[in-house]
Chain A
């Protein structure tokens, strides 16, 4: 069978096939094979053409879809960036470009890092807070707006006996407060919940708390407020003061006992000293009478013995008087009054035992000072008597004067006697360390004087030069 195109060409140019010779037929068969061959090739080509066109469409379609997807993603990304944009970013939702996106992503990454850092700092501070509250000796508690416990540290557990998971979300006031405070606290809590304020804030409240075991303990409680998630929470810090109260009580008792013992001792000293005076005065008086009434019956030796007896009795009497005065100075509160020293000095000089060849010079008119009225005379008397006694034997001079200083009066009493060696300057003011053995020198005069001056806020000291004289100074504050 010839190819139909070849058949048409044969019919046109050669006529009917059966009329052709064998040679031509063989030639035409060869041509026919070529036709068929071409036909096959064309078909193959067509087929392959058809196939590739289909693929292309499909691929195209796929590409389009992908592009659309990408657009969607891009839009979503833009949306996300818009939402995430930082305050200072001027990125606009509509016209975000790739560079912008990179910038924003960068800034987001930075933000994420910052957030992580902040989180770790927060975590650290939370850890610190936890450590602090855990190691605190005071109970730290928080109650929420319902009055239920929302935080409870270790010390709270220790002090009140409840573990955190036992008390969390349970009503604090109901569990911990004794009946007598409940009403007040609950009323206060309503106000607190609404306004975040309370009369209890900023104060140390002394009250009792009930432990889990029912035992009441004395505590100090301070309360403050904190607003969390728009609700007021109360933070309480509670300290168990049982130990403190106990030791305070013990201390108080001890002090009381000590004071009693001290008072008893002072009274005993006072009474002993005082009661010695009456019999001593009796002895002195009896000696006086022996000397007066029976003078002619005693020989000189016996008279001397009586004088020695009287001397010792009087010395003892003076000692007791000084002790009593010392007790009075030490044990009494200061009472300052205005005192006219000029007036006092004039009267004092009349009382002071005079000595031959000793002249007392008052330098200038004395001021009015503030001093304890009961003891001022003692100070001046002691210093003047001392000076008169120690002044030069043949031409004694005692000078009494004062200088006005900015904040005090400085008084001085000077004698022109032998002076006091420096090594005695310190001991001269100590109890019972008198350098003399005279009747009225019992070793209390200068210590007493020092005590009085110091009680009145002043100082006392001496300056002395051997064979030139001694000056005692003392100060009296003006105010």
Chain B
């Protein structure tokens, strides 16, 4: 996805099968970016703030997670001068109006509901991938 294929995609999700699904779908779509995984908001923040890690080109964020959920994570990231420009796409089970509202209040780049069918899941991932392949991003 995007640029040099070297910037990682950060996947923040606590469910193993969902993580596997994203991984498999991206592979199927020939997305070659390295993948980084975090099981909750805290882990994701730690990854983003670790200077050894390259800044991800996109974050795929689940909302319902232990310790620090997606909204709490967004609140910190979008108020962080260094991190706030990283596009975050919410990928969640929740269809709650409140979750959508809060996510967009924190400037998410998209809000996708995980489909129950794997095939449809791949379609969602294809759309995300295509969009972020075309979209321009600032260097820093």
List A residues at the B interface (Cβ < 8 Å).
Answer: 274-275, 277-282, 284-286, 288-289, 292, 313-314, 317, 324, 328, 332, 374
A282, A314, A317, A328: the one contacting B17 at CB < 8 Å is A282
A-contacting residues, B88-105, CB 8 Å: 93-95, 97
Known: A284-B116, A285-B20. 15 other contacts (CB 8 A): A278-B18, A278-B93, A279-B15, A280-B116, A281-B93, A281-B114, A284-B117, A285-B121, A286-B17, A288-B119, A289-B118, A292-B118, A313-B116, A314-B116, A324-B95
- The answer on a CB contact under 8 Å between A285 and B95 is no
- Give, as a whole number of angstroms, the nearest-CB distance from B41 to chain A: 17
Given the known inter-chain contacts A274-B64, A274-B94, A317-B116, please indicate yes or no for A285 contacting B21, CB distance below 8 A. Answer: yes
CB distance from A115 to the nearest CB of B (A): 81
Q: Which residue numbers of B lie inside 8 Å of A, CB to CB?
A: 15-18, 20-21, 24, 64, 93-95, 97, 114, 116-119, 121
* Pairs A-B, 7 closest by C-beta atoms: A282-B17, A288-B118, A277-B93, A317-B116, A285-B118, A284-B116, A281-B116
Complex interface: chain B residues within 8 A of A314 (CB) = 116
Cα separation A127 to B93 with both chains bound (whole Å): 77
Could you tell me the dominant secondary structure of chain A's interface residues? helix
Q: Quick check: B95 and A281 within 8 Å, CB to CB?
A: no
Main secondary structure of the interface of B (DSSP, over half): helix
Q: Which residue of B lies closest to A270 (CB)?
A: B96
- B18–A281 touching, CB < 8 Å: yes
CB distance from B65 to the nearest CB of A (A): 11
Q: Which residues of A contact B117 (CB under 8 A)?
A: 284, 288
Give chain B residues whose Cβ lies under 8 Å from the Cβ of A275. 64
Contacts of A286 in B (CB 8 A): 17
Cβ of B29 to closest chain A Cβ, rounded Å? 15
**What's the least CB distance linking B53 to chain A, in Å?**
27
Q: How far is the CA of A24 from the CA of B93 in the complex (A)?
A: 187
CB contacts (< 8 Å) of B17 on chain A: these are: 281-282, 285-286
Asked if A274 and B93 sit within 8 Å, CB to CB, the answer is yes
Interfacial chain B residues near A289, Cβ < 8 Å: 24, 118
| 29 interchain pairs, CB-CB under 8 A | A274-B64, A274-B93, A274-B94, A277-B93, A278-B15, A278-B93, A279-B15, A281-B17, A281-B18, A281-B93, A281-B116, A282-B15, A282-B16, A282-B17, A284-B116, A285-B17, A285-B20, A285-B21, A285-B116, A285-B121, A288-B117, A288-B119, A289-B24, A313-B116, A314-B116, A317-B116, A324-B95, A332-B97, A374-B97
